[in-house]
Structure 1
C-alpha cells in the first residue's frame, strides 16, 4: 500500500461526512470475480432485450444462473465490507451506494444502502411486478430440473451477476410467475435497462448530504456510477478513488489509490473515526442527518 497516498486520502476525508460508492472490485476478496479487473474472464452480459425477446437465451440464462446462484449465495462479506460497516456505525457516512448485486454490504452490517442495480437474491415478475426471494425460485427450479449439476461452477467461472459458465442448457426448464404466469427476471438492472429514477434521485441526495465521496472497487466504466463522481467533483467535494487499474473518474479524483480495496478500507476504518471526532469536537454523527434507506 502507498502510505503517502493513504495519508492524502485521510487528509481529504477527515472530518467530512462521506458518501461511498462501491463496485465489483470490492467483492473479489469474497470470491466473486469482477467484470473488468486485470484477471477477469472476458464476458458479454445478456441485455434486457435479449432476455425478454429470446426464449432460448432466457433458458440458457436461468440454467447458468441456477448454478451461479449457489456460489453467490454462499459468498461472505470480506474485510472491506466490514470496514465500511464500521465507518457507517461510527457516524462517518451519509450512506452507501453500491453497483454490486451481491447483498454483501447488508450482510456485513451496513444499514443505509442503496442497491443501485438491484439485488441478485430477489426475482420480479415482469407482468404483475410481484417480487419473491431467489431462494424460493431455486427450490422450484430444483423440482423442475432434477439432477441438474449439483455442484457449483468453478468460482472463476461465475460473473458478478451470478451468471455461471456451464454446458448444454437446451433441456433446462424455466419457471414462470406462480400468480399470473408472467415472465420472471432477476430483480437487478440488465445492460440496456435503466436504473429506477427514484433510486437515482436518492443516490444523488446521499452524495449531496456528504462532504466527500469515496469510491471503492469500481472502474466507473458505466455512467450509472460515474455520474455521481462527476456530480461530487462539480460541487467541489473531494473524491477519493480506491481501485486497482485506471478508472473513468481518475481525472476527477482528489486522491487515487491503486492498492487492494479491502486492505485500504481497513486502514481507513482504523484511522478516520478518531480524526472525525477530533475535527467535530466530539459531535460525531449527531452533527448531521442520515437519510432513509432506499432499496
Structure 2
C-alpha cells in the first residue's frame, strides 16, 4: 500500500464531518465469513438460484438447510474494521453505515446507525401475519417439526402464504429499503455527506452499486477493496487495494496517535 494514497485518505477522513460508509462482503471475510462471488465463495458451492424467492417457495426445507449452514454465523466476531467504524461513529465522524451484509457484525461492534440494505439473518417473519421468529426459534422448529417453516400464529387457508422466510432480500425479492421512501432516505444521507467511504464491495450489484452516483459534487469517494470496482477511476475517487482492517487501523492511528 502506497503511503501517499494512505496519507491522502487519512487527511480526507480527518477533515470530513459527515462520513457515510457503504460495506460489502469484504469486511466480513476478515471475520471468517465466506463471501459470495470469489473463487472460494458461496456461489462456487451452489448456484445463485438457491438464494432466490422462487427456490424458497419451491423447497423451503432445502433453502433453510443451505441458509442456516452458509448465511447464519452467530459465532462470528467483529474485526478491527468493524470496531474502528463504531469508534468513528461514537466520535461523531461516521453518520451512517449502509451495508449489504446480513451478519449483524456492525451492530455487534457497537455501531448504531446501520441500514441493513439486504436484511438480516437474525430473524424470520411469517409472510402473511408478519409474526417474527428468531433464527434460533427456526432452528428449534426445524429439529422438532416437519413443517417448521409454516407459521402457526395465523390461519389463512393457503399454506404457502404462511411460510416463514428469513428477513433477507433474496433474488426476485424486495426488502424494506426497496421502496421510494427507503431509497430517498439512503440517497439523501449520501448526498448530504461530505465523504463516502466504500469498504469491501466491488459495487457491481444493483441497486447498491448505484449509490455512489448520488454523492454531492466534489465529495470524495474512498474505496478500500481488494478487487476493482467501476468507480476506481471516476473523479474525486481514491482507491486502496488492501485489507480493510489494516488500512483503517493505519488511518485511525494517524487520526488518534497514542499518548506516551
Q: Name the CA distance, whole Å, in 2 between partners of 1:24 and 1:83.
A: 17
Q: Name the CA distance, whole Å, in 2 between partners of 1:269 and 1:14.
A: 9
- TM-score, reference length from structure 2: 0.85
Listed as ranges, the gaps of 5+ residues in structure 2 are 156-161
Tell me, yes or no, if structure 1 residue 242 matches structure 2 residue 224.
yes
Pick from 47, 51, 55: which aligns with 1:50?
55
Listed as ranges, the gaps of 5+ residues in structure 1 are 146-172, 275-295
Whether the 8 Å contact between 1:124 and 1:130 is mirrored in structure 2 is yes
* 1:105 CA displacement: 0.3
Residues 145-197 of structure 1, C-alpha deviations (whole Å, 9 max, x = no match)? 7xxxxxxxxxxxxxxxxxxxxxxxxxxx5421120260111101112223432
Aligned to 2:209: 226
Residues 31-71 of structure 1, C-alpha deviations (whole Å, 9 max, x = no match)? 1011133543524222123323x1xx3221112233346x6
Aligned to 1:59: 61
Whether the 8 Å contact between 2:20 and 2:95 is mirrored in structure 1 is yes
Aligned to 1:154: none
Aligned to 1:4: 4
Farther off after superposition, 252-261 or 110-119: 252-261
Aligned to 1:282: none
The 5 Å alignment of 1:91-240 reads: 91-144=92-145, 174-180=148-154, 182-195=162-175, 196-197=178-179, 198-232=181-215, 235-240=217-222
Provide the alpha-carbon RMSD of the alignment: 2.1
Aligned to 2:159: none
Whether the 8 Å contact between 1:94 and 1:209 is mirrored in structure 2 is no
- TM-score, reference length from structure 1: 0.76
Q: Name the CA distance, whole Å, in 2 between partners of 1:8 and 1:115.
A: 29
* 1:273 CA displacement: 5.8
Q: Name the CA distance, whole Å, in 2 between partners of 1:273 and 1:49.
A: 49
The 5 Å alignment of 1:9-28 reads: 9-16=9-16, 17-28=18-29
Whether the 8 Å contact between 1:22 and 1:217 is mirrored in structure 2 is yes
Q: Name the CA distance, whole Å, in 2 between partners of 1:238 and 1:47.
A: 35
Q: Name the CA distance, whole Å, in 1 between partners of 2:164 and 2:150.
A: 6
Between the two structures, name the one with larger relative contact order (CA 8 Å, sep ≥ 6). 1
3-state secondary structure, aligned to 2:74 = helix
Q: Name the CA distance, whole Å, in 1 between partners of 2:115 and 2:102.
A: 11
How many matched pairs?
242
